[in-house]
Amino acid sequence: NTVSNLIFILPPIYGAIQTYKDGLEKRYLAAYLCLTAVGLGSWCFHMTLKYEMQLLDELPMIYSCCVFVYCLYECFKYKNTVNYPLLFLLITYSVVVSIVYLNLKEPVFHQVMYGTLVSIIVLRSVYIVLWVYPWLRGLGYTSLTVFLMGFFLWNVDNIFCDKLRALREKMPPVVGAVTQFHAWWHILTGLGSYLHILLSLYTRTLFLKHRPKVKVSYFVF
């Protein structure tokens, strides 16, 4: 569960480097770095299982999604413009969620607030791939499907945790590791989030008439 967070760390760092090299807008650099922060926080939490580290895992999930929302809703604006009302709204949302969660300490609250942001992102993404740039459906649906697969496995792991743990004890170590669905949640949601940033960046560069292309790169860990 710790090592699986590499999917949140290495690809986004690569994306941030490429974004900087290509001179793209800084909000996409922030999106990649926020995703890396989620991975680092999750790494620290799963390595230590301390409450403070849990906050480093969960709160950046809110902040990164706010950055994703801003990027996605500013795809069709002129370059070098800032949407101050939306920026203020998202910062306020992040601050309020942080304060309430720190005092309430209720995981369901965090899940609902995170789910709200994800729903906004999904609805905007579907709008883009259905009515604006239909040829991006493959990338958009792949991102969504991969993310939802991770969400599904996360719920399976939560519901059947005891049964899965007992099953792993009867399996060879390597085979048992494959049933670590929480790790798969990290891998699939990390990949899905990375692909979402790519979709958002692709949409933006298309609007700016940069003629972007998607190239597959293979990471060797």
CA-based torsion, 115, 31, 26, 43: positive or negative:
positive
Closest to 116 (Cα-Cα) out of 187, 52, 68, 48? 68
Q: What is the pLDDT of residue 220?
A: 41
Contact present, 42 and 57 (Cβ < 8 Å): yes
DSSP-derived letter for residue 22 is T
Radius of gyration of the chain (CA): 18
| Mean pLDDT of all residues in 72-86 | 92
Closest to 97 (Cα-Cα) out of 83, 117, 82? 117
| Mean pLDDT of all residues in 171-194 | 90
- Every domain of the chain and the residues it spans: 3-208
**Alpha helices, H only, 160-180:** 161-169, 173-178
Asked if residue 46 belongs to a known ligand binding site, the reply is: yes
Q: Rounded mean pLDDT of the chain?
A: 93
Q: 112-124, pLDDT tens digit by residue?
A: 999 999 999 999 9
Closest to 69 (Cα-Cα) out of 129, 120, 29? 120
| Mean pLDDT of all residues in 96-119 | 96
Q: Minimum mean pLDDT among 53-62, 77-86, 95-104, 170-179: which range?
A: 170-179
Asked if residue 210 belongs to a known ligand binding site, the reply is: no
Give dist(CA 12, CA 19) in Å, integer.
10
The CA angle 104-147-128, to the nearest 5 degrees, is 105
